[in-house]
């Protein structure tokens, strides 16, 4: 009997009008795999007949295809300024060129300008670049990547990173190593793979999506090499603390910034504010002691500081004030 539930009962159930008896019947019925298939078929039919909302599939598909090609195929042009839900805040090319020149001139001596090409992002900006070997890099906000202007890929492929970037490195036919150097004591060596490197204020991390990387560290005059596998996160603090390697991490969350999304897993608010400073350059102050202990959980899409803080304000009873150009957070009692 429980093998033959009618579509009608399922429709009643989906509309929220099923009795407890009926729900019990359905639960029993669902124990058979075949019926689970049938269930989802009827869910689809029900949704098609009583849609809660009808999205613009064409637009969504276009964005989806864009997202696939962005992340999987390293065959794209440099300096993309897209307009779409994933890159809502791209700046115009002219502004970028001007700021790049200014930044390059002020931060690096002349020799650097001649022999190295620097890719840089401003606060709140996420940009994608392609290197001469067709490897692609997505640079997070407030970061810079230096690559040799000449002969990149001839003997070795070495770049210098400050900040945070996600790499999609192409494997060359002759197994040429790709090395990411950071201001810290570590460099990351790969053949071809997808990973991210973070290097700010004495803290360095390497997060691996696919492939394999070797991280070389020099501490206390000792050289050490650590192998990082997919799902791993390696954290190194320049201040002589032993490197920490964690496995089975939610690596997907760590790349959410590529889509201007921030993911927090029970993260202390103070850490979140540090992240905000690094990404947007904004100083946010917490007034209440109670608020300082707060932890943030969730996934937020934000292209600027205000959007992110407003999302917090909504969720956590926080008031946002501006005092003398600083942003202050208070609890709403």
Partner 1 sequence: MTENPRDIKPSLPDTFSFDKEEGQSSIIIGDKELFIRKAFETDPPKAIELLFKLYYKPLCSHAVRFVYSKEIAEDIVSDVFYSFLQKSIYTQVKSSYRSYLFASVRHNACAYIRREVGKTSKEKDDSLDLTSSFPTPLQILQYDELHQAIEKLVNELHPQCRKAFLMSRYESMKYHQIAQELHISKKTVEAHITKALRTLRAALQL
Residue 115 CB neighbours (<10 A) = 12
Give the residue, chosen from 9, 12, 63, 112, that forms a contact with partner 1 under the rule CB under 8 A: 63
Q: Give me the least distance between CB of 50 and partner 1, in Å please.
A: 8
Q: How many of the chain's residues bind partner 1 (CB under 8 A)?
A: 48
Residue 82 CB neighbours (<10 A) = 13
Backbone angles phi, psi at 143, to 5 degrees: -140, 160
Window of 45-53, 74-82, 100-108, 163-171 that interacts with partner 1 by CB under 8 A: 45-53
Write out the two tokens for 159.
């770049």
Q: Give me the least distance between CB of 265 and partner 1, in Å please.
A: 8
Give the residue, chosen from 103, 298, 327, 330, that forms a contact with partner 1 under the rule CB under 8 A: 298
30 binds partner 1, rule: CB under 8 A? yes
Residue 50 CB neighbours (<10 A) = 10
Give the residue, chosen from 7, 23, 223, 242, that forms a contact with partner 1 under the rule CB under 8 A: 23
Give the residue, chosen from 8, 57, 220, 225, that forms a contact with partner 1 under the rule CB under 8 A: 57
Q: Give me the least distance between CB of 98 and partner 1, in Å please.
A: 31
Question: Contact letters (x/-) for partner 1, 80-109, by CB under 8 A?
Answer: -----x------------------------
Interface ranges with partner 1 (CB under 8 A): 13-14, 16, 23, 26-28, 30-31, 33, 36-37, 39-41, 43-44, 47-48, 51-55, 57, 60-61, 63-65, 67-68, 71-72, 85, 248, 250, 252, 265-266, 297-299, 301, 314-315, 317, 332
């Amino acid at each position: 009997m429980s093998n033959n539930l009618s579509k009608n009962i399922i429709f009643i159930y989906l509309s929220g009008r099923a009795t407890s008896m009926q729900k019990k019947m359905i639960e029993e019925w669902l124990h058979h795999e075949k019926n689970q298939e049938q269930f989802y078929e009827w869910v689809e039919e029900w949704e098609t007949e009583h849609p809660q909302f009808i999205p613009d599939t064409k637009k969504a598909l276009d964005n989806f295809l864009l997202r696939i090609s962005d992340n999987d195929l390293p065959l794209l042009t440099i300096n993309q300024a897209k307009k779409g839900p994933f890159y809502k805040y791209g700046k115009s090319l002219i502004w970028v060129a001007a700021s790049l020149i200014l930044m390059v001139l002020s931060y690096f001596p002349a020799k650097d300008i001649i022999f190295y090409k620097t890719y840089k992002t401003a606060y709140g900006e996420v940009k994608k670049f392609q290197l001469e070997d067709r490897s692609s890099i997505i640079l997070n906000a407030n970061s810079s990547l230096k690559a040799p202007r000449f002969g990149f890929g001839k003997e070795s492929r070495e770049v210098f990173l400050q900040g945070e970037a996600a790499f999609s490195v192409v494997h060359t036919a002759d197994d040429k190593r790709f090395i990411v150097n950071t201001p810290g004591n570590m460099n990351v060596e790969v053949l071809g793979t997808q990973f991210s490197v973070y290097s700010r204020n004495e803290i360095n991390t390497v997060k691996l999506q696919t492939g394999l990387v070797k991280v070389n560290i020099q501490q206390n005059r000792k050289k050490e090499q650590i192998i990082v596998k997919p799902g791993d996160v390696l954290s190194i603090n320049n201040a002589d603390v032993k490197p920490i390697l964690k496995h089975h991490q939610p690596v997907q969350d760590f790349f959410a910034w590529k889509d201007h999304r921030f993911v927090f897993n029970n993260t202390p608010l103070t850490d979140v504010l540090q992240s905000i400073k690094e990404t947007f350059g904004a100083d946010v102050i917490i007034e209440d002691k109670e608020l300082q202990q707060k932890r943030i959980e969730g996934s937020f899409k934000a292209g600027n500081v205000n959007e992110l803080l407003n999302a917090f304000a909504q969720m956590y009873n926080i008031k946002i004030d501006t005092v003398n150009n600083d942003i202050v957070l208070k609890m709403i009692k």
